[in-house]
Amino acid sequence: MTPHTHGWIEVVTGSMFSGKTDELIRRLRRAVIARKHVQVFKPAIDVRYGVEKVTSHAGAEFDAVPVQKAGDILGVIDPETRVVGVDEAQFFDENIVQVTAELAQKGLRVIVAGLDTDFRGEPFGPIPALLAKAEKVDKLQAICMVCGEPACRTQRLVNGKPARYDDPVVIVGASELYEARCREHHEVPV
């Protein structure tokens, strides 16, 4: 098999419950159908649905390798790999930007999914830099759990109330801790 002469980076982003992982898995499955060798990575911190799987809130899943830090990805890339998937990229260190760029430079298609903003509504980890470096960006929306309009924010809840601004940024969870909200209904008390 002749490798591609050029690679690229795709980023799928948006709030929680917007379908980012479903879209990542859809693209990965299409790559498999096209007979491309695919490898998928996720941060080891994300053990919500299984250690060696990328799993969407809707239940779709794809085998994945958990890694502690972004640089670990380069050490386990198979020479036959043509497509690399990375889920929950906001949890990786800033080196994920360089790692994805290096993979693309080697001719690989790199598909990254992650939250663009944290529960405060502020840029989340390395995602803004990935958005700037990517050739293709898709920002998905969820449905506001208050009014039913399109949602672009992630609301963290503590005992049913909005988390305070000074609460920790990284707390891995799903619908028991978070819900999608529109700009109007997103709350971050100080």
Return the active site residues: 88
Count Cα neighbours of 25 within 13 Å in the Cβ-side half-sphere. 18
68: nearest Cα among 60, 59, 76? 76
Please name the residue that has the structure tokens 């930007």: 97
What's the rounded Cα separation, in Å, for the pair 62 and 25? 7
Residues 6 and 39: beta-carbon distance below 8 Å:
no
- The three-class DSSP label of residue 103 is helix
What's the rounded Cα separation, in Å, for the pair 152 and 16? 8
**Helix, strand, coil percentages in the chain from 3-state DSSP, rounded to 5:** 20, 30, 50
